Every structure is written in C-alpha cells, then in structure tokens.
Amino acid sequence: MIRVQQEDFDVGYELKELTKKNHSIGGVASFLGLVRDIASDENISAMTLEHYPGMTEKLLGEIEAEANQRWDLDASLIIHRYGRMEPGEQIVLVVTCSKHRKDAFESCEFLMDYLKTKAPFWKLEETSRGGKWVDARDSDDNAASRWLEK
C-alpha cells in the first residue's frame, strides 16, 4: 500500500490496520523518519518536501512490487509526506510484514534505501542563511547499490 500525503499519520493505527486479521504474520519491521533540526552542522528550522504527483506514486509502487518479488511479504506500507514540516515531525513510514523476521527486516531496509535514492522527492531546508536544496548523498547511493548484487 502506498500513500503520499501532506497530513501526519498515526504509527500505531497504521500498524494495527496493516496486520489485523492476518494471523500468518510473524514479523513486522518498520522505519519511521523524522525531520531533524540540524544537517551539515547547520540548524534547520523547517523542511519542505516537493514531489511529482503521479510519477511519485507510480515509482513507489514499482519499488514496493520489487520488494514483494524479492521477499515473501504478507503486507507492506509506504507513507511519505510532502509539504512544509518542522523538526520532530514525521516524514516517512515504511512497514513490511512477513511470516519470518528476516524477510521483514531486509525488505524494509531495501525499501528505505530505494526511497532515499530513487523516489522523486526534493527537499528544501530552511536555515538562518535562507533555503537550501538538499543534494543526493553518495552514502545513500552506496547503501542502495548493495541490493543490485542480489
């Protein structure tokens, strides 16, 4: 399940909805991303995420489908917010559910690595010196590259 939205979400509610009535699930792995108040030794007062509607959901669906091909998943969820957010606010939730923990852990990590490198989101950080667009990081590309080998 994919949702790209401006509004915040309730992690507990999302987990309960994803797993209810599916008693074959034995492992649930999740990642919750939050807005930080510092990046590159500079204070951040807010961050604005922009995306390409339609393209974003399509690409997230392709990434989720690939995770389902690679691992035996019973359920998955990607919620990614856009718009202006302040430090401490939730940005992204990725949840994967499987019969066993290994598939849940690995697929969750795969989805996050690919979200960081492939999803069409652009981040503008607000600092005391004005707005600054966030560049892609080599460390994110390196993390995602390990999945190319499998």
Q: What is the pLDDT at residue 40? A: 72
| Sign of the CA dihedral with 65 first, then 71, 75, and 78 last | negative
Q: Which residues contact 69 (CB under 8 A, 6 or more apart)?
A: none
Q: Which residues contact 86 (CB under 8 A, 6 or more apart)?
A: 35, 45, 46, 47
Q: Residue 91: pLDDT above 90?
A: yes
| Domain boundaries along the sequence of the chain | 2-149
Residue 5 structure tokens: 């939205």
Q: What is the pLDDT at residue 139? A: 67
Q: Which helix (H) or strand (E) holds 101?
A: helix 101-118
Q: What does the pLDDT average to over 18-39?
A: 92
| Each residue's pLDDT tens digit, 43-59 | 889 999 999 999 999 99
Mean pLDDT, the chain, rounded, equals 90
The partner residues of 49 in beta bridges, in order of sequence, read 83, 123
CATH class of 2-149: alpha beta
pLDDT range class, residue 127, cuts 50, 70, 90? confident
